[in-house]
Amino acid sequence: MSSPSKKPNPLTRGKKSEADEAAREGRLLDAQQLFQAVCKTDGMDVEAWVKLALIEKRLGRLTEAERCARRGLALAPQLGFAHHALAVVRHNQGHVEEAWAGYRRATTLQPDFPDAHYLLGLACHELGQLEQAAASYQRALRLQPGLIDAQVHLGLLLIGQNQLQAGEQLLQRALLQQPDHVLALSNLGQVQRLQNRYDEAEQTFRRALRLQPEATDLLAGLADHLEKTGQLAEARQLAEQGLALDPQHPQLNMTMALLERHDKQIDAAVARLDALLTIPMSVNLLGDVELALGALYDQQNRSEQAFAMFTAGKQHKARLALPGGVYDGAYLRQVQALQALASAELGAAIGAARQREPLGSAGPIFMIGFPRSGTTLLEQVLESHPQIQALEEKPAVQAVYEALRAAGEDSPIALAALSDERMAALREVYFAEVARHLSLPVGSVLLDKLPLNAIYLPLIQRLFPTAPIILALRHPADVCLSCLMQNFAANAAMSAFHRLDTTVELYEAVMQSVQRAREQLPLRLIEQRYEDLIADVEGQARRLIDFLGLPWDDAVLEHTEHARQRATINSPSYHQVVQPIYQTAKYRWQRYEAQLADQLPRLQPFVDHYGYGSP
């Protein structure tokens, strides 16, 4: 690159060529000295100032890098590369919005500049402008298909939008081009973990760390993974190792705070996350920090501050999870439409099928309800029984519904009229999806735990007329508050949980669906209240085991140890169910009555219906 208004200086042309070669070879100090010499010889050489700025940035000398970049831009304010260089420096200094403006100016002045489009995408990504980020990444890749970093970050963006398969394909494609691309490996580890491929994820993280043993981002990624999978000692070791290298690293501090929470060092964890809020970080991580801090404030009974953190964290998460950051209510409309499946005709069909199939305990068992109703604890209690094997939150029932919808059989009349042969085929669809996630031992009974399968309750009982159904219940205000508190993975159903009002709206729709099904259909259903379970685990467990037609086994009472022995628990409750039963979450809503006041009247009908008394 040379200044558009200045002829090359023969006295410095050779030094610049040598400097460029040194930079390409990674000899940064040599490149720095050569560009400094050029700038001293010819202080009007824009190219030398701009490239020196980028070398200083790579050396970590950001103040000097900024000075050089501003000098180059002052000499050539219409040069896209000069705007790009200053934006790169400001980006590294944590000034993302200023960097965004610089990249945008650079791409306007120089539309065919792939690096500027890629970094504009990165800045948009960090600011939560997801559509613009994707467009910029794609533009960069059209200009330079081999720009691996753009490919990797586009994959990461798709993963953040729960497009896991598409995101992984981009990462794997990048790794075919460059097998030791550390960022691609790190992100691949994240997507493997999101898909519950925990062994693969750990191997991928470790492979990346072997390539860069002191890379703090990789130490953070593996430490976070180990904390989530209960390998706390090594997680702490890696977090401490990383913090020794970079005491202000956001993800490492976040993981260390979670480890301090495990150790009941609540004040230390709060102090760490409070300090972390002053450090620039991505929108996604900021949301994580705010939600974690809210949970810690809750443990300190600082309800007002906790609610503010939950609200802020969910707002930041919404910027990444929802198109334009706006909730569209699509899942709510689906729930409302499915209510029509519960009909008198379907009830008659279920009753007739049940007469042909004697009740038994062969399963499956379905555990339904609303998220945060104690289903994870209840699952751990039941799966401790040696004959019960849990399928944890997988879309097996949804796969059957999709097959029905594709065949135009998703109306109440069509569902009631299905032949025995068609029902057998649909059961095969169900078990094929189960087999993708779980190998069911011979003689075991399947426990299908997915709370929001509640919306498919008519389909479940039609598909398996004798199947026992457990409806998990908890005080409605506690349920909705807990949904706001939790850091759920992004998907259509969880999109409602970014605000309290939309959470309550979805709760109303789901529980109305359950009530309609119970009115219209002969369900084989038992209620299980969370509050009763934590008050008397053995008594409630015996009641459930008897309902399921299974023999009692004292192993059910060892559910905490059973949870600890599992590789991981795919739930926001993962750090809670490995602890002894506690009572602190019972009627937590009472400490937040002021914040919940506008929504309590909407919840009152369910409070009354399920016998929770006056709110």
pLDDT bracket for residue 346 (50, 70, 90)? very high
Estimate the share of the chain in helix, then strand, then coil, as percent rounded to the nearest 5. 70, 5, 30
- Report the largest interatomic distance among the alpha carbons of the chain, rounded to a whole angstrom: 97
The SS3 of residue 388 is strand
8 Å CB contact between 14 and 48: no
CA distances 154 to 115, 148, 448, Å, are 14, 10, 34
Examine residue 201 and state whether it is found in any structural domain, yes or no. no
Examine residue 444 and state whether it is found in any structural domain, yes or no. yes
Cross-strand bridge partners of residue 527: 471
Our count of domains for the chain comes to 1
Question: Who wins on pLDDT, 480 or 3?
Answer: 480
* In the predicted structure, residue 581 carries a pLDDT above the cut 60: no
Examine residue 47 and state whether it is found in any structural domain, yes or no. no
pLDDT (average), residues 154-165: 85
How confident is the model over 79-125, as pLDDT tens digits? 999 999 999 999 999 899 999 999 999 999 999 999 999 999 999 98
- According to the model, what pLDDT value does residue 355 have? 85
Examine residue 88 and state whether it is found in any structural domain, yes or no. no
Q: Which residue do the tokens 């970079």 mark?
A: 246
pLDDT bracket for residue 333 (50, 70, 90)? very high
Examine residue 589 and state whether it is found in any structural domain, yes or no. no
Examine residue 486 and state whether it is found in any structural domain, yes or no. yes
Instruction: Print the domain residue range for 517.
Output: 332-578
pLDDT bracket for residue 521 (50, 70, 90)? very high
CA distance 536 to 367: 19
Closest CA to 158 of 326, 320, 328: 320
Q: Name the amino acid, one letter, at 578.
A: V
Q: Which residue do the tokens 């940064």 mark?
A: 28
The SS3 of residue 476 is helix
- According to the model, what pLDDT value does residue 574 have? 46
* In the predicted structure, residue 358 carries a pLDDT above the cut 70: no
Strands ordered across the beta sheet of 388-392: 388-392, 445-449, 365-368, 469-473, 525-529
pLDDT bracket for residue 7 (50, 70, 90)? low
* In the predicted structure, residue 614 carries a pLDDT above the cut 80: no
Average model confidence (pLDDT) for the chain? 90
- Between helix 283-299 and helix 476-485 the angle, nearest 10°, is 140
Start-to-end C-alpha separation, the chain? 70
How confident is the model over 431-477, as pLDDT tens digits? 999 999 899 888 899 999 999 999 999 999 999 999 999 999 999 99
Examine residue 96 and state whether it is found in any structural domain, yes or no. no
Closest CA to 95 of 71, 121, 123: 123
pLDDT (average), residues 14-38: 90
pLDDT bracket for residue 615 (50, 70, 90)? very low
Q: Which pTM value belongs to this model?
A: 0.78
Provide the CATH number for the domain around residue 365: 3.40.50.300
Examine residue 457 and state whether it is found in any structural domain, yes or no. yes
CA distance 615 to 613: 6
- According to the model, what pLDDT value does residue 362 have? 55
CA distance 4 to 7: 8
pLDDT (average), residues 518-534: 96
Q: Does the CA dihedral 543-546-552-557 come out positive or negative?
A: negative
pLDDT bracket for residue 190 (50, 70, 90)? confident
How confident is the model over 123-157, as pLDDT tens digits? 998 888 888 999 999 999 999 998 999 999 999 88
